[in-house]
């Protein structure tokens, strides 16, 4: 029993020595993350522009058919002020019917309406009317940049560009009145207008349902 007691005392002594040694050092960590403000974009009507049921008799042989303009609201909301831009990605780009809008817009500004078998259904254009755009509940100048180039007032070039045409080759932003430099905002709201064009009836399989299947991704870019 005496030997066991000695061993126990020795173990306690060793633990005391190691504990005293460990207490001579401590680690301080510096943590955190640099994170930009984040933004969400929402669309009215669940992002659906519905042209309903279209009668084949409304299509004219040898001609593309233009349909009425439809509007959908949009809002970008960020958790802090940030310089941002909006760009589009056509999820049906391969289905664009070349020249379907006539002289209204070049193909770079037209989005595809999908296919039925080997037949392309048509295309549609999108634009943002300038007079309904607000940033932080105040009017703002709408500007655009082609392929990352200089920023231009959408009202300074032509009537078509002035309407805020959402071309696939450009991005849109907003600036203070009288300037063309993107500025920081926390909210942007307005309207996206859509106009659809249908292929010539002889190019469509009109003995069956021909759905309009346009799909575009709206992406918020941080500048």
Write the DSSP assignment of 25-76 as a string of letters: --------------EEEEEGGGG--------GGGS-TTS-EEEEEEEEEEEE
Beta bridge partners of 72: 192
Instruction: Report the pLDDT value the prediction gives residue 162, as an integer from 0 to 100.
Output: 47
Beta carbons within 10 angstroms of residue 89's beta carbon: 12
- Mean pLDDT for each consecutive 10-residue tract of the chain (223 residues)? 38 47 76 83 94 95 95 95 94 96 90 96 92 90 87 70 76 91 95 95 96 94 92
* Mean pLDDT across the chain: 86
192 falls within a domain = yes
12 falls within a domain = no
29 falls within a domain = no
79 falls within a domain = yes
201 falls within a domain = yes
Give the tokens for residue 192.
């996206």
Instruction: Report the pLDDT value the prediction gives residue 5, as an integer from 0 to 100.
Output: 37
Q: What is the CATH number of the domain that holds 92?
A: 2.60.40
15 falls within a domain = no
Enumerate residues 6+ apart whose C-beta is below 8 A from 137.
187
Strands 39-43 and 65-82, bridge-based pairing: antiparallel
Provide the Cα torsion 163, 179, 157, 49; round to 10°: -20
88 falls within a domain = yes
Instruction: Report the pLDDT value the prediction gives residue 1, as an integer from 0 to 100.
Output: 41
Give the tokens for residue 74.
């949009």
End-to-end CA distance of the chain, in Å?
78
Q: Give the structural domain span for 194.
A: 39-48+60-222
Instruction: Report the pLDDT value the prediction gives residue 8, as an integer from 0 to 100.
Output: 37
Conformation bin of residue 99: beta by default, left when phi > 0, alpha when psi is -120 to 50: left
Instruction: Report the pLDDT value the prediction gives residue 22, as an integer from 0 to 100.
Output: 56
pLDDT digits (tens, 9 = 90+) for 141-195: 999 998 778 999 887 655 444 468 888 888 999 999 889 999 999 999 999 999 9
Helix or strand holding residue 16 (H, E): helix 2-22
16 falls within a domain = no
In the chain, how many domains are there?
1
């Amino acid at each position: 029993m005496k030997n066991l007691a000695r061993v126990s005392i020795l173990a306690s002594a060793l633990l005391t020595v190691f504990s005293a040694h460990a207490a001579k050092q401590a680690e301080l960590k510096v943590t955190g993350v640099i994170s930009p403000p984040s933004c969400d974009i929402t669309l009215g009507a669940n992002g659906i522009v519905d042209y309903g049921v279209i009668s084949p008799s409304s299509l004219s042989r040898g001609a593309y058919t233009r349909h009425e303009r439809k509007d959908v609201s949009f809002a970008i909301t960020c958790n802090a002020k940030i310089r941002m831009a909006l760009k589009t990605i056509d999820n049906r780009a391969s289905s664009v019917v070349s020249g379907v809008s006539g002289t209204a817009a070049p193909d770079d500004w037209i989005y595809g309406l999908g296919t039925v078998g080997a037949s392309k259904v048509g295309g549609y254009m999108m634009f943002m009317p300038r007079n309904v755009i607000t940033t932080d509940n105040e009017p703002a100048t709408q500007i655009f940049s082609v392929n990352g180039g200089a920023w231009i007032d959408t009202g300074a070039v032509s009537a078509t560009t002035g309407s805020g045409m959402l071309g696939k080759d450009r991005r849109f932003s907003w600036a203070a009145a009288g300037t063309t430099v993107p500025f920081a905002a926390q909210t942007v709201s307005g309207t996206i207008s859509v106009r659809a064009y249908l292929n010539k009836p002889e190019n469509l399989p009109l003995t069956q349902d021909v759905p309009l299947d346009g799909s575009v991704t709206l992406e918020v870019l941080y500048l």
